[in-house]
Amino acid sequence: MLITFIRSILLYIIVLIVMRLMGKREIGQLQPFELAISIMIADLASTPMADAGIPLSNGIIPILALLVMHLIISIINIKSMKAREILCGKPSILIHKGRIDEKMLKKERFTINELEERLRASNVVNIGDVEYAILETSGQVTVIQKSNKRTTTPEDFGIEPEYEGITYDLVLDGKVMYENLKKMKKDYNWLKKQINKFGIEPEQALIVTIDGKEEIYCQEKISK
């Protein structure tokens, strides 16, 4: 029992490392070759995990081989557009200039109901509001609404909003984010001074953030 437990932990760590090495994009929407590798990795890890009689290396070596294969394919994808089309395919336009392309729907084996479902996922409830709907190689549908149906922006009214920048976490659950302080060219003493205005110490805060306008949000952590 203990051996199985330890083997499971080791395989989990290895799979986790491999998925991290594959990159952040693979955690989101998978391309076909990425999905195939992910399924195979899961299968290779589960076999030695369940059967203590199978050497651990029987799972680790194939997983590492798949990682190498993935890296090679990724490099080929970057350097060759033709290879990219073969491995990943090309986006398909399901709605073109407001009209549904029935031939493309049949080719991609998409029903009208599925198309409407994907549109609703993009907060579009009326198919008549769509100018273009593009089926991406990842399987996601990108929706471009007609110009008179799109959400208005300040630019539409000739307004130039103030620069907002990015919001940084300065304290999370009582732990000071020194790396973010460094990015802002601030130090602990500055942070302490700002948080003291809320009547607490940095270590007593549940969360402290600062936005591009240097406005600070602070919430005290409830004592256990």
Establish if 150 belongs to a structural domain: no
Q: How confident is the model at residue 201, as a pLDDT?
A: 94
pLDDT tens per residue, range 167-198: 899 999 899 999 999 998 999 999 999 999 99
Quick one: 187 and 208 in the same domain? yes
- Answer with the one of 66, 86, 106 that is the final residue of a domain: 86
Establish if 122 belongs to a structural domain: yes
Q: How far is CA 122 from CA 31, 110, 116, 129, in A?
A: 20, 17, 10, 12
Quick one: 11 and 27 in the same domain? yes
Specify the number of domains making up the chain.
3
Quick one: 117 and 174 in the same domain? no
Establish if 159 belongs to a structural domain: no
Partners of 10 in beta bridges: none
Q: How confident is the model at residue 63, as a pLDDT?
A: 81
CATH number at 129 reads: 3.30.240.20
pTM of the full predicted structure? 0.61
**Whole-angstrom Cα distance, residue 212 to residue 183?**
13
Establish if 161 belongs to a structural domain: no
Q: How confident is the model at residue 19, as a pLDDT?
A: 64
Strand order in the sheet with 216-220: 175-176, 168-172, 205-210, 216-220
- Residue 106's domain comprises 92-145
pLDDT tens per residue, range 23-42: 544 444 566 667 677 777 77
Maximum pairwise Cα distance, the chain = 71
Low-confidence ranges of the chain (pLDDT < 50): 24-28
Quick one: 15 and 82 in the same domain? yes
The answer to whether 169 and 180 are in contact (CB under 8 A) is: yes
Q: How far is CA 139 from CA 32, 90, 102, 118, 120, in A?
A: 9, 11, 18, 10, 15
Q: How confident is the model at residue 28, as a pLDDT?
A: 45
The answer to whether 147 and 131 are in contact (CB under 8 A) is: yes
Q: How confident is the model at residue 130, as a pLDDT?
A: 93
**Whole-angstrom Cα distance, residue 125 to residue 95?**
15
**Whole-angstrom Cα distance, residue 142 to residue 62?**
36
Q: How confident is the model at residue 96, as a pLDDT?
A: 93
